[in-house]
Chain A
């Protein structure tokens, strides 16, 4: 299959922020069956992220995190990408920045490492000055995407936030700016409080919720975005089974990102997802993923 011109051996991508600091980990996800690996979001300078606790765990339904965009910085990170590329991995570079010129600059620098596409983090819900704070207004999204598209040759993916009243408007803005695809969704803003200690659990306070709990939110966003843009949609949020994946595909996703499921099932989740999705597609009479994309919008009786 291909998406925005890039060949993919299956629809499952490693989501940004997971297994993404080291090249060996990216290579490991690739060897485990991910069709592509999206790097940690990289900024201009090394960033330590927030102090711990950075994670609150729940039963199987989710995870709340506020890592705070830790990353080695664009100076050192290319060598990690090089390790992954030497292992044969298809790498998509994720970047975050505070304004359009810096997004463009970082995108150009990560493009130079040989990534097949750039994903713009317009949606981290817990980092001051970045993510959602620069990606919540359609005009900002359009300006940032256009600035990047003007600078790079590879396809540009806009990863949008669900923490807004109209996520599809952000997708439309990204499309106007020249984006090749939309990733939906990033984590849903959340909070955990320890009642004994009478304080937020995460050192940063607010965090982002991922995992099964947000699958319906992600599906709704993909559904709405699919109806309002022509560019492909990448579904992300709570995908842990082949049926989860097919729900996203039927809502309109052409590819999928997987992250939190790895904490429950290990990196072997990619092989299992591929098997389960193939079985489910076969059982329903679909010969290809592409044939199932968006079918829920026009159900046959």
Chain B
């Protein structure tokens, strides 16, 4: 069922990322997503970055035309919300490594908060192109996570990709689970780094979506449909598909190699 709500608050998180808060009563869990309709424009799947209470939130990075227009939204704007859809992170592991690449941290933050509130220890490997693009660094620290940073340009923390930081953390200490969200190529590297340690990795996958009901096949990924079988998948399942980290599908259903098509 779709509801049309007014955005109650917008918050610029980084130069390219904005959070929208809106009233949405249904109970939601970390990992789930909603379909957000910008009337007259498009409807996009967005992972919930705030899942508790009557005010939910999404945090989105300006990538394509529509998401760039999201950056221009102000409080009072009307948006359509349907959902929540998809599965959730299993919050039972006690020692969690969270690996967030760019805006992927949006879906990881509420999971980390809930795990910390339940007494788990959470270490975050937070990556971005540069210091001012690090998403939810303070939020995660305030929740009690240990936050380690990697930036592509070295403007904060380790210089380089967050995958290198995550590998180092995995070498240094034991974890019961890794939760990651970011580009599939990044998550694939995280999974390969964790595999020799025997640490299970759970990836939140983003694919082009239309129905979000497991029907239209737009988000088909191997034998899975990201909208109903995911968006959170054990990495070992993703690794058995021919598509993960190699191909996505454009809105026509064509398989397109990563890096060769404009994002939505």
| A residues apposed to B, CB below 8 Å | 17-22, 24-25, 27-28, 40, 46-49, 51-59, 63, 65, 67, 70-73, 76, 194, 196-197, 199, 201, 203, 259-260, 262-263, 266
Complex: how many Å from CA A213 to CA B259?
43
> With A196-B4, A260-B215 given, is the CB distance from A53 to B254 under 8 Å?
no
Q: How far is the CA of A35 from the CA of B103 in the complex (A)?
A: 43
B200 in the interface (beta carbon within 8 A): no
Question: Nearest Cβ distance between residue A70 and chain B, in whole angstroms?
Answer: 5
Number of A-B pairs whose CB atoms are under 8 Å? 117
Q: How far is the CA of A71 from the CA of B210 in the complex (A)?
A: 13
**Which single member of A53, A262, A263 contacts B37 (CB below 8 Å)?**
A53
Roughly how many angstroms separate A22 CA and B216 CA in the complex, as a whole number?
Answer: 10
Q: Is the CB of B250 within 8 A of A48?
A: yes
Count the B residues whose beta carbon is within 8 Å of the partner chain — how many?
36
Most chain A beta-carbon contacts within 10 A, residue among B41, B223, B252: B252
A248 vs B225: C-alpha distance when bound (angstroms): 30
Query: In the complex, are the beta carbons of A259 and B80 less than 8 A apart?
Result: no
Task: For chain B, residues 214 to 233, give those with C-beta under 8 angstroms from any C-beta of chain A.
Answer: 214-218, 220, 222-223, 225, 228
Interface of A is mostly: loop
B1 at the interface (CB under 8 A from A): yes
CB-defined contacts of B218 to chain A, threshold 8 Å: 21, 70
Whether A40 lies near B213 (C-beta < 8 A) is no
B68 at the interface (CB under 8 A from A): no
CB contact under 8 A between A70 and B215, given known A53-B43, A201-B2: no
Instruction: Point out the residues of chain B lying under 8 angstroms from A54, CB to CB.
Output: 43, 210-211, 216
Contacts of B42 in A (CB 8 A): 51-52, 203
Tell me if B88 counts as interface (CB < 8 A to partner A).
Answer: no
| Known contacts A28-B223, A52-B37, A57-B1; is-contact A21 B213 (Cβ 8 Å) | no
Point out the residues of chain A lying under 8 angstroms from B61, CB to CB.
none
Q: Which residues from chain B sit less than 8 Å from chain A, CB to CB?
A: 1-2, 4, 35, 37, 39-44, 78, 80, 82, 210-218, 220, 222-223, 225, 228, 241, 249-255
A-B contact pairs, 18 of them (CB 8 A): A21-B217, A21-B220, A21-B249, A22-B217, A22-B253, A24-B220, A28-B223, A47-B252, A54-B43, A54-B216, A63-B213, A72-B253, A73-B252, A194-B4, A197-B78, A201-B2, A201-B80, A266-B228
Of B211, B217, B223, the contact of A20 (CB 8 Å cutoff) = B217
Q: B211: which of A55, A58, A71, A199 is its contact (CB, 8 Å)?
A: A55
Chain B residues in 8 Å Cβ range of A58: 1
Q: Are B37 and A24 in contact (CB under 8 A)?
A: no
Contact across chains for A56 and B220 when beta carbons are under 8 A apart? no
Q: Chain A contacts of B80 at CB under 8 A?
A: 53, 194, 197, 201
Known pairs A21-B253, A72-B255; list 19 more (Cβ under 8 Å): A17-B216, A19-B215, A19-B220, A21-B220, A22-B217, A25-B217, A25-B225, A40-B253, A46-B254, A52-B42, A52-B44, A56-B2, A65-B216, A70-B210, A70-B253, A72-B253, A73-B254, A197-B4, A266-B214
